[in-house]
Chains A and B, each alone.
Chain A
Amino acid sequence: MGQGFEKVFSQYGALLSRVANSYEANEAMQQELLQEIAIAVWQGLSRFKGDSSVKTYILKIAHNRAVTHVASQVKRVDTHRYESEELGSDGYISSQHSPEAVSSQQQSLARLLKAVRALPLQSRQVLTLSLEGLSYDEIADVCGLTKNHVGVILKRAKHAVMQEEHHAQ
């Protein structure tokens, strides 16, 4: 199991990290959530029966773990402080740097991440799964929605994110 697990991580490690990034703004918290997700995936892989692709299966586990993590964070009084201190920087673009030093793509990415994290849970999930290239059927399977609902939610989520982008420009 150990080797299979490492193979899955080398293939999907970045994907899992992006899931963590969509739930947590602070870099330390992202790393913590990523480790939690990794443990959950390790546990889950032993029960994988091949009913879906490995990617869909681990994304399902990762999002469930992230939901649990977010709910559990209410006991940590410093979570909001963490977020408010770093909001806008997202751990990637430091507010210490001058705007000139930050590339346009990095600014767009920071705005995208901020807008994604501001979305309600389901919209965030549907949008990020879509950005990872999952089909409507696969997204519906992960979220427990119908294919039509996925379409509706995705359209609204994209609209909300694009509006944020327009406001920023």
Chain B
Amino acid sequence: MHSDKNNQQGGDALSDLWQTQPTNTIDVSEVKKSFNSERVKQRFYILIDLILLLPPFYLMYLAWGEMTFAAKALCAFMVITALPLLMYQLWLRRVAAFTKDSHTLDHLKQFTHQIKNNIRIAFITKHSAWPAFIILPLFVLERHLAGVLTPEKWETIMIAFPVASVIIIVWGVWAHRRQKRFEKQLAALQSMADDAANRR
């Protein structure tokens, strides 16, 4: 019904006009630079993700013997929630760094899926901020009940708490903004995908 020959003939005038448009030049040296820096950046992010997990593990290793059952339970809870999140994050980074050569409909589906994942991560990150307001006082309470909080340590806590609170609030706001940004991206993608699906 639709032959390639017809396509060629019908599109000749438009095609000729299309080919006359001015084009930009690819800056090859800039592409090489960006390609290399992007590769380094992705590796750096993966390294940071992994390194950030080391200090808490090290501190736990040092203090595990002196911890009460409640403190151990809190630490175990944080590790159990943080590890799967880290694995997920690393998987997403790998997917994001991989150039897609699938057809466009597939790409739209995969990309939509990825953005949905990003929304979930931002949502989890956001809601992992406010429990810190509960977990931190619980730690202090546990230390207090264990009778190890001297007046000097209370002074340190009084300084550390407001600082930690500000960090947690900034963290939560940042995650909320990321979530909103990804939701906008998803809306744009879904409108493209719907349009594509309606035309099939």
A binding-site residues for B, Cβ under 8 Å:
2, 5-6, 9, 13-14, 16-18, 20-21, 27, 30-31, 34-35, 38-40, 42-44, 47, 57, 60-61, 63-65, 67-68, 70-72, 74-75, 92, 105, 108-109, 112-113, 120-123, 125, 128, 130-133, 135-137, 141-145, 147-155, 158, 161
- Of the listed stretches B97-105, B140-148, B160-168, name the one at the interface; the rest are far from the partner chain: B97-105
CB distance from B70 to the nearest CB of A (A): 43
Is the Cβ of A145 less than 8 Å from the Cβ of B185?
A: no
In the complex where A112-B14, A112-B17, A158-B10 touch, is A148 in contact with B24 (Cβ < 8 A)?
Answer: no
Q: Give Cα A60 to B107, complex, Å.
A: 10
Is the Cβ of A144 less than 8 Å from the Cβ of B26?
A: no
Q: Give Cα A105 to B200, complex, Å.
A: 34
Q: A17, A57, A135: which contacts B24 (Cβ < 8 A)? A: A17
Q: Give every chain A residue within 8 A of B188 (Cβ-Cβ).
A: 70-71, 74
In the complex where A60-B101, A112-B18, A122-B196 touch, is A136 in contact with B107 (Cβ < 8 A)?
Answer: no
Q: Give Cα A20 to B100, complex, Å.
A: 17
In the complex where A21-B21, A144-B103 touch, is A43 in contact with B35 (Cβ < 8 A)?
Answer: yes
Q: Give every chain A residue within 8 A of B1 (Cβ-Cβ).
A: 148, 151
CB distance from A27 to the nearest CB of B (A): 8
Dominant secondary structure at the B interface: helix
Is the Cβ of A74 less than 8 Å from the Cβ of B184?
A: yes
Is the Cβ of B11 less than 8 Å from the Cβ of A31?
A: no
In the complex where A67-B104, A141-B103 touch, is A18 in contact with B7 (Cβ < 8 A)?
Answer: no
Q: Give every chain A residue within 8 A of B24 (Cβ-Cβ).
A: 17, 20, 27, 30-31, 34
Q: Give every chain A residue within 8 A of B83 (Cβ-Cβ).
A: none
